[in-house]
Structure 1
Amino acid sequence: MTNQTGAQALIQTMINQGVKYVFGLPGAKVDRLFESLEHSDDPKTPKLIITRHEQNAAFIAAGIGRLTGKPGIVATTSGPGVSNLATPLITATAEGDPVVAISGQVPRNDIARLTHQSISSKELLSAATKDSVEVQDANNLSESFANAYQNSITAKAGATFISIPQDVLNDDVDRPVIKPLHKIHQGGMDKAIIDKIVEKIEHAKLPVILAGMRSSTNDVTEAIHTFLRKFSIPVVETFQGAGVISRDLEKNYYGRVGLFRNQIGDTMLKESDLIIAVGYDPIEYEARNWNIDRTGEIINIDAVKPEITNDYQPDLLVNADIAKTLNSISEQLPDDIDLGKEMHEHLADQQEKFTKKDAIPANHSDKNGIHPLAIIHALQNQVNDDTTVTVDVGSLYIWMARHFRSYKPRHLLFSNGMQTLGVALPWAIAAALERPEQPVVSVAGDGGFLFSGQELETAVRLHLNIVQLIWDDGYYDMVRFQEIAKYGHDAGVKLGHVDFVKYAESFGATGMRVEKTEDLEPMLTKAFNTEGPVILHIPVDYSDNIKLSSKLVDDVLN
C-alpha cells in the first residue's frame, strides 16, 4: 500500500495482528505515531491509552501479555522515555510476558551527536529484552513490528524493543504491510519417548508434578487436568503456576513453592522419587532450593530448553509442545494406575497439616493491625473463580502466595522472577480492560503501592472497576523481617504516614478504611458494589512474619 507514512504503516500492521490497545506517554520523537492513533478513521485502530509514567505503561502492556498470551504494546518518546522502560521490560522478559515496546528516537542524522534526548536506545534495552532493533527505513517498519510481535510470543515469551527515529515515522512507505501472522505450532514427542516417560511414572512410588510458569496456559492446564483425572498425584505450583489446579481437583493441590524452602510443596518435592517438571523456569524458584538432598529422578517437559546447572540436571528432557506431550502421556497410562492405599493415607495426612496452616490465630487482637490471614480469608470469601487478583511484592505477597486459593490459571498474578515493586495496580488495569465483566482486585503494601499509585487516575479516567487493597504497616516489611531475623534489628525500612483514603479521593476514586477484623467482609462487600476504582486501606499486623521463614526444611534466609 502506498501513500502512507511510517507511523500509518506501523498502525496498519498492529491492526492486522489484532492489537487492541497501545499504552504510553507522548513526546516529540513519537508524536506522529500518537497523532495517527488518536485521529485514525479506522474503527479497528488500537485505542491509545495515556498513562502517568512510562514504567507503568509497560507494566500494563505486560499484564495484557500475561492475561491473553498476545503481546501488549507500549509506546514512548526518546531519552528518559526509553530508559524508563528498562525495569518493566526486564521484568516481562524474566517472567515470560510478551510485550512489544516502541520508542521514538532523534532523527537519523542526530543519533551520533550529543543532542537533545539522544541515547543509544537499542543498546540500552538489549539486555532487558529478547530482541532490540533500530529501524532506519520506513519501509522496514511493518516487517520489524511483525518480527518483534512474533518473537515476543515465541517460547520463552518476553519483551522486544523497536527504536524508531523521528524522521522514519514521518517518511513515506511504498511497500505493503505484513498480513496477519499465523500461530507457530510445536510438535509433540515421539512414541518411544512417551513410552519411556510412562514407564518411569508407573515405577515411581511418589511422582509429583511441579507446575511452573509455562504450565499456566489454558491448553497446558487442561492437559494437566486430563492427566490427574487418569492418575491422581500431587501437584505443586510455583507462584506463576497459580491456578493450575481447578476447584474439582483441589485434593491434588499441595501448595506453592517460592522464596523460603519451608512449604508443604517443598516437602512433597523432597519426598518424590520422580518429579515431572511442567513448564518450570528456574527464575521462579531455583533448583538449589528444592532439588537438594534428593535421590529421585526429574522429567523436564517444556517448550523451552532448560538451563543445566549443578543443581538441575533432569534425567529426561522433553523439548516440545507441553500440552500435546502431556495428553500423549495420559493416553498411554494404564487405566488402573494408582498410588496405592498407604501412599494415599500419607498424602491425606500431609494435606491436613497443610490446610491447618490457613487458620487465623485464635488469640490475635487488632491492637497493632489486622492479621494477614484474616484479610486473606475475608477476600477469599468475597471473590469467585473468575475474579482476577493481582499481587504486588512485599510481605503480603508471601502470605497471599501461601494461603490464597485460585482455581483458574492467570487469575492470581505474582512477580516472582524479578520481584518488582509496583506491578499490582498496572496489572489490575490490564485485567479490568480484558475482563470487564468481573471485578478485579489489586493487593499492595503501603510501600509498593506508591511505586505506581499515580495510575489510579488512569483507572478513574477509564471507569475501571478495581478494588485496591493496601496493607499498611509503615515499613518495607519484606526486607524488615528478614533483617531482624538475620541481624536482630532493622535498617532503612521505615516509611512515613499516608492517608490513602484522601489519596483515593484526590484522584476521584472512592476511599475506605478498615479498623478491625469484623469490618473486613462488610467493607469488602461495599467496595465490590461500588462503581469505579476503590482503595481499601487496611492496617496490618506482621508480627507473625518470622513464621514465614521457619525451618520446616533446612534452609537459610534469601
Structure 2
Amino acid sequence: MPTTKNGAQALIQSMINQGIKYVFGIPGAKVDQLFESLQYSQDPRTPKLVVTRHEQNAALIAAGIGRLTGKPGVVATTSGPGVSNLATSLITATAEGDPVIALGGQVPQDDLGRLTHQSIPSQELLATATKSSVEVQHADNLSEAFANAYRLAQAPKAGATFLSLPQNVLSAPVERPEIGTVSPVQQGVADEATLTAMVDQIKAAKLPVILAGMRASASDVTAAIRRLLDQVDLPVVETFQGAGVVSHAGEDNYFGRVGLFHNQIGDNLLKRSDLVIAIGYDPVEYEARLWNVDRHGAVINLDSVVPEISTDYQPEMVIHADIAKTVDALTAKLPTEWALPASVHDDLAELRHAFSQQAVAPTADDSHGIHPLAIIQALQAQVTDETTVAVDVGSFYIWLARYFRSYQPRHLLFSNGMQTLGVALPWAMAAALERPGQPVVSVSGDGGFLFSGQELETAVRLKLPIVQLIWDDGHYDMVRFQEIAKYGHDAGVDFGPVDYVKYAESFGAKGLRVTQTDQLASKLAEAFQTSGPVIVQIPVDYRDNQQLKSQLLTDVLN
C-alpha cells in the first residue's frame, strides 16, 4: 500500500523515535519542506522548531543541549552558507565531546557538482569538523541515516555528525518504516585482574590524586566518583570541563582546576603525585606536556575512549571500559580501612589553606573598574548549586575557572578545547530550555558577547530567564595581557564602546549597569529577580591579569 509520507516527515518521525525535543536553525529553500513539516505537524511529540538569528548560534545551542543531557541536540540549516556557517560550532562540539546532529539542506541531486545557486560540497566541507559526514541519496535511507548519526554522535568520544539533505530527497515519497528507538552503546566493566592491579597501585602510592576530566562530568560517572570519595579520602583536581565533579559534602577533596597555564594549586599537586588516576581525561582540555612534565609517578588512564599516546602521556595502565561501572567496582574492591597517612593530610590541609587565600578580593578601587574576584564573589553569593553558569572565552573565563565554585557536574560550562568565542549565551539558552525553573547565568566579555549577542532576541522571544553578565574593558583582553607579557606591549586588541544597557532594551530585555563594587550585590539580586533575559554591564579592572600567567605558587608539598 503506497504511503503519503515524504522524506521530511519520515525524518521528523525518526527524531520523535529518538526523543528529540528541539530543532534549532534558520530556514531556506532547500529545507523549507522540513521546516514546514515541523511547524505544522499535528503530532504533539514533534520537536519544537526554534528559529535563531545565526546558524553558528543554532548549532551552539544544539551542542549545549548535548553537553547538558548527553543526548544529541539537532540543528537544521539551508544549503550553501547555511551549511558553511556550521563549521565552527561543529568543530567545537567534536573537540569538546558534545553530541549534536547537524542537518544541512543541499541542492537537488541533479544540480550537485554544477555551478548552481548554493551548490557546495557540503559533505566534504564538514567531514573534518565532525565524527561522520554523510549525504543521503534516497528518501528511504533518511531514517537509517539519522539513527546512525544519533548513535555515533552519542558514542564515546561524543561529538558532531552531519547529514547533507538534497532538496528532492526531503520531498520524495518514503516507503520504508522508520528506525525505532536506538539503544545506547554499552561498555563493560574492567576485569578482576585489572581492578586488583588498580587497588594495589593506590595502596602502594604515597599521594594518589584523581584528575577528573570532561567525561568524569557525565552524571553517572560523577555519582560513581562521589561514592568512591565517600569511602576513601582522595584529593581531586578538576579540568575546566570536569567542573562540579566534587560535591559540597566532598569539598575537602577539592584542589582546584587545571587548564591553560601551568601555575595552579592543582598543577603542584599533580606534579608531586606518585600516582595520577586520570578519569575521563581528554588532552584537548589540558595537554599532558603542561601537567605531566618532570613527574616521576605513574598514571592510570580510566576512560570510555582509548587515549592518545604522546611523548608526554604514556600511562602505565590504560583501562578502556565503562567509567562509572569501573569506578563503582574499584570502590567495592578498595579496603574500607585504607587511608592516606596523617602527614599527607597535613600537607594537603596546608595546600588547601593556600588555595583559599588566593580567592580573596583586594580592597575595592573603582577608579579602574571592578576587580574580577569581587565580581566572582558577588556572583557566588547569588547562585545555588543548581544554577547553570555558561562562560564565554576571555580573561574572565580564567578567573572563573580558577576561583568560582560549582558543585554539580555540567553546571559550570567552559570551551577549553577550542576556546570558541560566543558560546556562553547559546549554551545558557540550552540550559534555560533543559532546566526550566533553575537559574541560568551567561558570562561574556565585551568582545565575545557580540559573536552571539543577536540571539538575545531569540531569548526574549522564548522568555528565557537568563542573567547575562558582560565584563566590559574595551579590549580582547585575554590576547592583550599575554601580548604584554611576551612583547611588553599589545597590538590589534582594541575596539569601541557599546552601551549594553541600551542594547538590551532595544531587544526588549532589561539592562542594568554597575559602576561601583558596592553596587554588585543589589544589581545582581535585581537581575536574578527579573523574569526573562537581563544584561548586567560591569566595568572590569584587569590590572592583576599578569598573575594569571606568571604567578607560580610555592610548592608546599615539596
What secondary structure sits across from 1:256 in the alignment? strand
Q: Distance in 2 between the 1:248 and 1:334 partners? A: 22
For 1:186-225, list aligned pairs within 5 A: 186-225=187-226
What secondary structure sits across from 1:431 in the alignment? helix
User: In 1, are the aligned partners of 2:72 and 2:101 still within 8 Å (CA)?
Assistant: yes
Which residue matches 1:461?
A: 461
Which residue matches 2:30?
A: 29
Which residue matches 1:542?
A: 542
Q: Distance in 2 between the 1:480 and 1:47 partners? A: 42
User: In 2, are the aligned partners of 1:261 and 1:553 still within 8 Å (CA)?
Assistant: no
Q: Distance in 2 between the 1:537 and 1:133 partners? A: 43
User: In 2, are the aligned partners of 1:2 and 1:176 still within 8 Å (CA)?
Assistant: no
User: In 2, are the aligned partners of 1:477 and 1:493 still within 8 Å (CA)?
Assistant: yes
User: In 1, are the aligned partners of 2:265 and 2:553 still within 8 Å (CA)?
Assistant: no
Which residue matches 2:452?
A: 452
Q: Distance in 2 between the 1:427 and 1:159 partners? A: 16
User: In 2, are the aligned partners of 1:2 and 1:175 still within 8 Å (CA)?
Assistant: no
Q: Distance in 2 between the 1:553 and 1:420 partners? A: 29
Which residue matches 2:302?
A: 301
Which residue matches 1:156?
A: 157
Which residue matches 1:423?
A: 423
- Gaps in structure 2 of 5+ consecutive residues: none
For 1:138-287, list aligned pairs within 5 A: 138-287=139-288
Q: Spell out structure 1 runs of 4+ moving beyond 6 A.
A: none
Question: Is 2:406 the partner of 1:406?
Answer: yes
Which residue matches 2:95?
A: 94
Q: Distance in 2 between the 1:490 and 1:550 partners? A: 17
User: In 2, are the aligned partners of 1:422 and 1:449 still within 8 Å (CA)?
Assistant: yes
For each residue in 1:247-301, what CA deviation from the matched residue of structure 2 results, as whole angstroms up to 9, or x when unmatched? 0000000000000000000000000000000000000000000000000000000
What secondary structure sits across from 2:330 in the alignment? helix
AA at the equivalent of 2:482: Q
For each residue in 1:482-534, what CA deviation from the matched residue of structure 2 results, as whole angstroms up to 9, or x when unmatched? 00000000000001000000000000000000010000011000000011100
For each residue in 1:142-192, what CA deviation from the matched residue of structure 2 results, as whole angstroms up to 9, or x when unmatched? 000000000000000000000010000000000000011112211001100
Q: Distance in 2 between the 1:531 and 1:66 partners? A: 25
AA at the equivalent of 1:194: L
Question: Is 2:387 the partner of 1:375?
Answer: no
What secondary structure sits across from 1:74 in the alignment? strand
User: In 2, are the aligned partners of 1:387 and 1:438 still within 8 Å (CA)?
Assistant: yes
Q: Distance in 2 between the 1:216 and 1:501 partners? A: 35
What secondary structure sits across from 1:247 in the alignment? coil
AA at the equivalent of 2:393: V
Which residue matches 1:439?
A: 439
Which residue matches 1:119?
A: 120
Q: Distance in 2 between the 1:306 and 1:65 partners? A: 22
Q: Distance in 2 between the 1:245 and 1:471 partners? A: 28
Q: Distance in 1 between the 2:19 and 2:228 partners? A: 33
TM-score (norm 2): 0.98
Q: Distance in 1 between the 2:306 and 2:32 partners? A: 41
AA at the equivalent of 2:495: L
Which residue matches 1:388?
A: 388
Q: Distance in 2 between the 1:528 and 1:311 partners? A: 45
For each residue in 1:434-455, what CA deviation from the matched residue of structure 2 results, as whole angstroms up to 9, or x when unmatched? 0111120000000000000000
What secondary structure sits across from 1:240 in the alignment? coil
Which residue matches 1:128?
A: 129
User: In 2, are the aligned partners of 1:7 and 1:33 still within 8 Å (CA)?
Assistant: yes
Which residue matches 2:48?
A: 47
User: In the TM superposition, what is the alpha-carbon distance from 1:551 to its structure 2 partner?
Assistant: 4.2
User: In the TM superposition, what is the alpha-carbon distance from 1:462 to its structure 2 partner?
Assistant: 0.1
For each residue in 1:27-74, what CA deviation from the matched residue of structure 2 results, as whole angstroms up to 9, or x when unmatched? 000000000000001010000000000000000000000001110000
Measured at CA, do residues 529 and 69 of structure 1 come closer, stay the same or move farther in structure 2, by a change above 3 Å? Answer: same
Q: Distance in 2 between the 1:417 and 1:524 partners? A: 30
Q: Distance in 1 between the 2:295 and 2:530 partners? A: 51
Q: Distance in 2 between the 1:161 and 1:427 partners? A: 20
Which residue matches 2:492?
A: 492
What secondary structure sits across from 1:314 in the alignment? coil
Q: Distance in 1 between the 2:340 and 2:66 partners? A: 38
User: In the TM superposition, what is the alpha-carbon distance from 1:238 to its structure 2 partner?
Assistant: 0.2
Identity %: 68
AA at the equivalent of 1:145: F
User: In the TM superposition, what is the alpha-carbon distance from 1:553 to its structure 2 partner?
Assistant: 6.7
Q: Distance in 2 between the 1:272 and 1:109 partners? A: 62
AA at the equivalent of 1:326: V
AA at the equivalent of 2:31: V
What secondary structure sits across from 2:521 in the alignment? helix
> Size of the alignment, in residue pairs?
553
AA at the equivalent of 1:438: Q
User: In the TM superposition, what is the alpha-carbon distance from 1:2 to its structure 2 partner?
Assistant: 2.6
Which residue matches 1:349?
A: 350
